Amino acid sequence: MKPIPLNDFIYWVGGIDWDLRNFHGYLTQRGSTYNAYVIMDEKITLIDTVKYYLTDEMLERISCIVDPSKIDIIISNHVEMDHSGGLPQLMELCPNAMLITSPNGAKGLEAHYKKNWNYTVMKTGDSISLGKTSLQFILEQMVHWPDNMACYMPQTNILFSNDAFGQHIATSQRFDDEYPFDIIMDEAKKYYANIVLPYGKQTQNVLDAIEGLPITMIAPSHGIIWKQHTSQIIAHYKKWANNETSNKAIIVYDTMWNSTKLVAHAIKDAFEQHAIPVKLFDLKTIHISDIMTEVLDARYICVGSPTLNNNMLPTVAAFLTYCKGLAPKNRVGLAFGSYGWGGQSVAQVEDVLQQMGWRLIPAIKVNYVPQKQLLVTIAQQVFEKINEIDF
Ligand code: FEO
pLDDT tens across 63-83, in order?
Answer: 999 999 999 999 999 999 999
Cα–Cα distance, 198 to 97 (Å, whole number): 35
Task: List all residues whose CB is within 6 A of at least one atom of ligand 1.
Answer: 78, 80, 82-83, 144-145, 163, 221-222
Q: Which atom of ligand 1 is nearest to the CA of 162?
A: 1
Residue 20 binned pLDDT confidence (cut-offs 50, 70, 90): very high
Spacing, Cα 249 to ligand 1 middle (Å): 30
Say yes or no to pLDDT of 385 above 90.
yes
Q: Write out pLDDT tens, residues 296-342.
A: 999 999 999 999 999 999 999 999 999 999 999 999 999 999 999 99
Task: For 4-241, give the CATH class.
Answer: alpha beta
Q: Which atom of ligand 1 is nearest to the CA of 34?
A: 1
How buried is 362 (Cβ within 10 angstroms: 0-12 exposed, 13-18 middle, 19+ buried)?
exposed
Q: Which atom of ligand 1 is nearest to the CA of 148?
A: 2
Tell me the catalytic residues: 24, 78, 80, 82, 144, 163, 191, 222
Say yes or no to pLDDT of 391 above 90.
no
Looking at residues 244-263, what average pLDDT do you find?
98
Spacing, Cα 282 to ligand 1 middle (Å): 30
Cα–Cα distance, 194 to 187 (Å, whole number): 10
Cis bond upstream, residue 78 (ω within 30): no
Q: Which long-range contacts (CB under 8 A, 24 or more apart) does 89-95 make?
A: 89/52, 89/55, 89/59, 90/46, 90/49, 90/55, 91/115, 91/117, 93/59, 93/68, 93/69, 94/68, 94/69, 94/70
Say yes or no to pLDDT of 168 above 90.
yes
Whole-prediction pTM value? 0.97
User: Shortest CA distance to 40 belongs to which of 77, 84, 8?
Assistant: 8
- Predicted local confidence at residue 390, as pLDDT: 75
Q: Write out pLDDT tens, residues 184-230.
A: 999 999 999 999 999 999 999 999 999 999 999 999 999 999 999 99
Cα–Cα distance, 229 to 223 (Å, whole number): 14
Say yes or no to pLDDT of 127 above 90.
yes
Looking at residues 98-102, what average pLDDT do you find?
98
- Quickly count: other Cβ atoms within 10 Å of residue 96's Cβ: 9
Spacing, Cα 240 to ligand 1 middle (Å): 19
User: Shortest CA distance to 143 belongs to which of 39, 30, 245, 220?
Assistant: 220
Say yes or no to pLDDT of 1 above 90.
no
Cα–Cα distance, 228 to 207 (Å, whole number): 19
Average per-residue pLDDT for the chain: 97
Cα–Cα distance, 146 to 299 (Å, whole number): 29
The residue extents of the domains of the chain are 4-241, 249-388
Looking at residues 41-61, what average pLDDT do you find?
98
- Predicted local confidence at residue 389, as pLDDT: 85
Spacing, Cα 223 to ligand 1 middle (Å): 12
Q: Whose CA is nearest to atom 2 of ligand 1?
A: 80
Cα–Cα distance, 21 to 113 (Å, whole number): 26
Q: Whose CA is nearest to atom 3 of ligand 1?
A: 80
Asked, colleague to colleague, whether 4-241 and 249-388 share their fold, the answer is no
Spacing, Cα 161 to ligand 1 middle (Å): 11
Measured on CA atoms in the order 19, 23, 25, 26, is the torsion positive or negative?
negative
Say yes or no to pLDDT of 41 above 80.
yes
Which ranges of the chain does DSSP label H, i.e. alpha helix?
A: 55-63, 81-84, 87-93, 103-113, 181-191, 200-210, 230-241, 259-273, 288-295, 314-326, 345-355, 372-388
Looking at residues 46-60, what average pLDDT do you find?
98
Protein fold of 249-388 = Rossmann fold (3.40.50)
Answer for the pair 340, 368: CB distance below 8 angstroms, yes or no: yes
Percent of residues, the chain, with pLDDT higher than 70: 100
Answer for the pair 41, 66: CB distance below 8 angstroms, yes or no: no
Altogether, the residues listed in the chain come to a count of 391
Cα–Cα distance, 246 to 263 (Å, whole number): 23
Cα–Cα distance, 240 to 196 (Å, whole number): 9
Q: Write out pLDDT tens, residues 258-307.
A: 999 999 999 999 999 999 999 999 999 999 999 999 999 999 999 999 99
